[in-house]
């Protein structure tokens, strides 16, 4: 690993009790760790020096929940964000179809619409009417279902129908979408461009929950130059036996001697989403009184998966959005001794949080969803809003909190997540349940993969900022993403500088 001397930085404390120097100091990174902090440190021979000019230094940021294949492909997909009805989405698809040449292999892949906010879902026949024989796949913004036309259903070997492809059926079909229609958008060069943009945000690491991902996919990308930031590669239940056979435990390098590319957790999707009304809840949905959503596994099946992964040395990341799903997931962790996280934890009961804390289970939350889901939540979970994205309760009960994006459901932007966790609002609206808001210091501490305030012994993964994030307004926090990171360091290597 390269060594590095950062000169003239101001260290940002990550807790009220952290003792930090009052003025500017130098920070030396040796063998991937901070080895010294002090004024006017000597520069070892051959070590690169970077003068931060009095700017602010924080541990490098992490995104604890991403889908990097989909995020990389987003630029080449038809943008359906903001469509308010099937008719509006069909108009955009028709415009895109009119630009195609009708060549074999052409397809329309769109993403970003939120069908859960429409007054009805679209039909396959409607999509056929504007696309003809060109395959069309419209991925809902939460990734829990997709609207396909007949040509796409046939190409993916799915039964014909008039409604959406949802949940497990969709997850199993999705990997073939990129394979058949989008191979040019997921090359190592495309990933490298995405990672370069991500490093410019101060991001030093991510957990990749891409569906259909194989461990060798990241090994080959890494060899092709996609080695800018740390990547933890998750696996899914259908690949669990393969992961176990590899002998890898969570945290083990995927390439010998390379600690930046490591085995991640087993990912389990235990329920659905708010938008599809499939998140598993204790109480019925207001617009569907006969439904509380549904689990994707029985309690015994869930315990079986957790127990199998735990015995093999794998942590488990359990997607649980509804409060019933969170409760059942915690019961499975308690019964098996498995370690890991609850991913999303969007709706919780406060009485479940002490157990989450005692078990050491991380709440992996994506605060930018607050901005997108508040109106829908009020419509379909009335009376439960105060328990949504309950980050204040989580900290008060001693739960470890990790923030992320769920990209591409929300942008891969840790500063947007931090600003949303602090302000819980956008577009001038009143903050949504501000009693659950975090301070900037708490949100930052939940965004650095558990690293402490920069000090000797901490990882040499660092970000240099133009502004003091603890004194910034919500708007200024969000704006850091737009040029406010002057340098990003991973293991002593500068991967972004401005």
230-287: pLDDT as tens digits: 999 999 999 999 999 999 999 999 999 999 999 999 999 999 999 999 999 999 999 9
Instruction: Report helix angle 215-223 to 188-199, nearest 10.
Output: 80
343/331 Cα distance (integer angstroms) = 15
**Residue 184: what pLDDT?**
73
Distance CA(122)–CA(12), nearest Å, equals 50
Do the Cβ atoms of 329 and 279 come closer than 8 Å? no
Max CA distance (Å), the chain: 71
pTM for the model: 0.92
Q: Which regions of the chain are under pLDDT 70?
A: 102
Residue 372 CB neighbours (<10 A): 21
The first and second tokens of residue 60, run together, are: 């490098």
- Tokens 């903001």 -> residue: 82
Cα-based torsion angle of the residue sequence 176, 180, 186, 188 in order, rounded to the nearest 10 degrees? 100
3-state secondary structure of 330: helix
Report d(CA 205, CA 64) in Å as an integer.
8
Distance between CA atoms of 391 and 19, rounded to whole angstroms?
A: 25
Structure tokens at 24: 């500017």
Burial class (CB in 10 A: 0-12, 13-18, 19+), 349: middle
Nearest alpha-carbon partner for 324 in 279, 275, 369, 373 = 279
pLDDT at position 431 is: 97
**Cβ atoms of residues 237 and 266 within 8 Å:** yes
DSSP readout, 158-215? Answer: PPP-SS-EEHHHHHHHHHHHHHHH-GGGGSHHHHHHHHHHHHTTTEEEEEE--TT--H
62 pairs with which residues across the strands? 205
Q: What per-residue confidence (pLDDT) applies to 1?
A: 74
pLDDT of residue 427: 86
Place of tokens 């370069």: 196
Identify whether the C-beta of residue 370 lies closer than 8 Å to the C-beta of residue 389.
Answer: yes
- Pull the structure tokens for residue 109: 């892949």
pLDDT at 181: 86
Measured between alpha carbons, how far is 370 from 376 in angstroms, rounded to an integer? 10
**Taking a C-beta distance cutoff of 8 angstroms, is the pair 497, 475 a contact?**
no
Q: Going from the N-terminus, what domains does the chain have, and what CATH number goes with each?
A: 1-59+453-498 (2.30.40.10), 62-67+187-450 (3.20.20.140), 78-181 (3.10.310.70)
Q: Which position has the token pair 């990341």?
A: 317
Query: Which pLDDT does position 195 carry in this prediction?
Result: 98
Check: CB of residue 41 under 8 Å from CB of residue 26. Answer: yes
Predicted local confidence at residue 153, as pLDDT: 97
- What pLDDT is attached to residue 186? 83
Q: Return the number of other C-beta atoms located less than 10 Å from residue 475's C-beta.
A: 10
Cβ partners under 8 Å of residue 91, min gap 6: none
Sign of CA dihedral 377, 325, 121, 65: positive
Give the strand pairing for 48-59 and 462-465. Answer: antiparallel
Query: So what's the pLDDT on residue 183?
Result: 73
User: CA-CA distance, 474 to 476, in Å (whole number)?
Assistant: 5
Distance (Å, whole) CA 403 – CA 76: 27
Rg (CA), the chain: 23
Query: Considering only CA atoms, which of 160, 164, 161, 97 is closest in space to residue 133?
Result: 97
């Amino acid at each position: 690993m390269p060594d590095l001397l950062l000169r003239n930085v101001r260290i940002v404390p990550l807790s009220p009790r952290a003792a930090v120097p009052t003025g500017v100091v130098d920070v030396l990174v040796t063998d991937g760790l901070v080895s010294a902090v002090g004024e006017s440190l000597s520069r070892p021979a051959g070590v690169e020096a970077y003068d931060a000019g009095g700017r602010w230094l924080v541990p490098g940021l992490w995104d604890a929940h991403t889908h990097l294949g989909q995020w990389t492909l987003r630029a080449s997909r038809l943008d359906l964000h903001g469509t308010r009805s099937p008719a509006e989405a069909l108009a955009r698809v028709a415009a895109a179809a009119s630009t195609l040449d009708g060549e074999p292999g052409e397809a329309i892949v769109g993403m970003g619409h939120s069908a859960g906010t429409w007054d009805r879902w679209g039909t396959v026949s409607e999509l056929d009417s504007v696309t003809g024989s060109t395959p069309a796949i419209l991925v809902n913004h939460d990734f829990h279902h997709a609207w396909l036309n007949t040509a796409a259903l046939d190409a993916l070997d799915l039964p014909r129908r008039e409604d959406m492809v949802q949940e497990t059926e969709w997850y199993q079909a999705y990997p073939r979408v990129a394979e058949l229609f989008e191979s040019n958008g997921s090359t190592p060069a495309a990933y490298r461009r995405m990672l370069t943009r991500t490093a410019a945000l101060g991001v030093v690491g991510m957990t990749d929950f891409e569906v259909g991902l194989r461990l060798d996919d990241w090994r080959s990308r890494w060899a092709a130059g996609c080695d800018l930031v740390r990547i933890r590669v998750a696996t899914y239940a259908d690949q669990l036996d393969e992961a176990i056979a590899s002998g890898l435990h969570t945290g083990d390098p995927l390439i010998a001697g390379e600690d930046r590319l490591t085995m991640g957790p087993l990912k389990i999707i235990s329920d659905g989403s708010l938008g599809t009304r499939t998140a598993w809840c204790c109480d019925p949905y207001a617009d569907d009184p006969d439904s509380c959503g549904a689990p994707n596994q029985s309690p015994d099946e869930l315990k079986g998966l957790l127990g199998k992964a735990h015995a093999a040395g794998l942590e488990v990341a359990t997607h649980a959005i509804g409060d019933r799903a969170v409760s059942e997931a915690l019961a499975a962790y308690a019964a098996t001794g498995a370690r890991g996280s609850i991913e999303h934890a969007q709706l919780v009961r406060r009485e479940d949080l002490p157990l989450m804390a005692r078990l050491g289970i991380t709440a992996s939350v994506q605060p930018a969803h607050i901005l997108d889901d508040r109106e829908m939540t009020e419509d379909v979970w009335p009376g439960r809003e105060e328990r949504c994205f309950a980050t204040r309760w989580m900290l008060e009960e001693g739960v470890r909190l990790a923030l992320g994006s769920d990209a591409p459901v929300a942008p891969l932007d840790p500063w947007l997540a931090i600003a949303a966790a602090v302000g819980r609002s956008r577009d001038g609206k009143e903050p949504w349940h501000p009693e659950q808001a975090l301070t900037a210091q708490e949100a930052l501490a939940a965004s650095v993969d558990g690293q402490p305030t920069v000090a000797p012994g901490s990882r040499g993964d660092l970000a240099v900022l133009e502004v003091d994030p603890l004194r910034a307004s919500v708007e200024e926090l969000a704006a850091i993403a737009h040029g406010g990171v002057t340098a990003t360091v991973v293991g002593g290597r500068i991967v972004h500088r401005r």
